[in-house]
Amino acid sequence: MLDVLMVGVGQCGGRILDQINKQAFGRSSNLGRYVSKQNWPSNVETIVINTAVNDLKELRFTKAKDRIHIPHLHGVGANREEGKNTFRENERVVMDAIERRGNFDVGFVFTSVGGGTGSSFTPLLADKLKYLYDIPIYVFTVLPFREEGSIYMQNSAFCLRELRESSADSMILVDNAYLGSAGDNIKAAYDGINKQVARRVLFLMNALDSEMLLVTDLGDFKTTMRGGDKIATMGFAESTGEGAISNAIKRAISRAGLLFPADVYDEAARAMLVIKGDRNVLNLSKIKEELDTLSSQVGQVFKGVVVEKGAEPQVLSVLSLSESEELDRLYERAVQAVQQEKDRRKSGSKAFSRLDGLEPEY
Ligand SMILES: Nc1nc2c(ncn2[C@@H]2O[C@H](COP(=O)(O)OP(=O)(O)OP(=O)(O)O)[C@@H](O)[C@H]2O)c(=O)[nH]1
Ligand SMILES: [Mg+2]
């Protein structure tokens, strides 16, 4: 059995972890969390860290003992410098709380990259976790809606770069702009995205720690992730009816199934696919056919097959990326955003300079 650490940092990371906790309780009702146990195949410890106490209070499925509040006003207001200083000042509190949980085989961190707390804590936290446990650390990084403003764009670019230079083994990109719309009902959009992430994470946990027909394990996952440029994405699809298994595989690696848009055939370095379903729907020759097409383009494809009685085909894909056009575009916009902020500061208000050289007359 694997020992897994999951940490959600900041509001976005906390909410995703809360959704993971919710889904891990299975079908149980809200009350279920008081009476039932979470349904993990592995030994999973979940911890949420935030500077804003209100963000912690809104969580519903994360136990009080798993919430770490670092007092700092009401968050760091998207200011990453303030965030980094706050982490450094409170590093012991955070690390002690994690260390008390024992040892782990792998760590997952969840955060947005556009905000302040999560985006500034996470690169530093990744280094600390690596130093403490010497385990692989994977960071789910949530990219902002592109219209959220220049500070979020700047933060995203700098945070991703710092994560890439940190001890984190890889970043699994999750793109708000691609998965939802920032329109009228932002809460519903967040919920929808968080559910998609949580579902994939739970599926992955089951895949890494289960009795399989064809096995994938943490070693395969690590090798898959090591293939790219420290960036990755994940896909998921399920299908029913005629040709369900082939459809599910195709969709799990197509843009429609991914958490971050990528052209799998051009941009993926390595892949891991986990296929689940009833014995009747798992047509091994169809699976082989689909995977052969993928293998002909992508360096290495690991595959796992999980039998679940009565289940329609479901497919999880993990894809490490060697390049990303979409990420290039995000950086282009971030550079513009930094320039805009600079220009704005330089120009300032002309009002005060109108008095230059004048003294008051009485
Ligand atoms: N997918 C998703 N994105 C979210 C959620 N909440 C916030 N975001 C995104 O996260 C970014 C803002 O970061 P937050 O996580 O709120 O910031 P924080 O880490 O709490 O930092 P501060 O509040 O600045 O201290 C924006 O790009 C939001 O669109 C959520 O529940 N789900
Ligand atoms: Mg916040």
Nearest atom in ligand 1 to 55's CA = 20
Which pLDDT tens digit goes with each residue over 305-358?
Answer: 988 899 999 999 999 999 999 999 999 999 999 998 888 887 777 888 889 899
CA gap 138, 272 in Å, rounded: 15
Mutate-to-test residue for ligand 1 from 9, 11, 260, highest number of ligand atoms within 8 A of CB = 11
For 25-68, how does the pLDDT look when each residue is reduced to its tens digit (9 = 90+)?
Answer: 865 444 444 445 667 778 899 999 999 999 999 999 999 999 99
Average pLDDT of adjacent 10-residue blocks, the chain of 362 residues: 95 97 71 54 92 94 95 88 97 96 97 97 98 98 94 96 98 96 89 97 87 81 96 97 95 96 96 95 93 92 92 97 96 93 81 88 90
Residue nearest to atom 4 of ligand 1 (CA): 12
pLDDT of residue 31: 44
The reply to whether the predicted model has a pTM over 0.85 is: yes
User: Cα of 74 to ligand 2 centre, how many Å?
Assistant: 7
Q: Which residues of 175-210 are buried (b: 16+ CB within 10 A; e: fewer)?
A: bbbbbbeeeeeeeebbeebbebbbbbbbbbbbbbbb
Domains of the chain are: 3-208 (3.40.50.1440), 228-321 (3.30.1330.20)
Centre of ligand 1 to C-alpha 212, Å, is 37
Asked whether the beta carbons of 131 and 98 are under 8 A apart, the reply is no
Question: Residues within 5 Å of ion ligand 2 by Cβ?
Answer: 11, 52, 75
What's residue 352's pLDDT? Answer: 83
Specify the pLDDT at position 336.
93
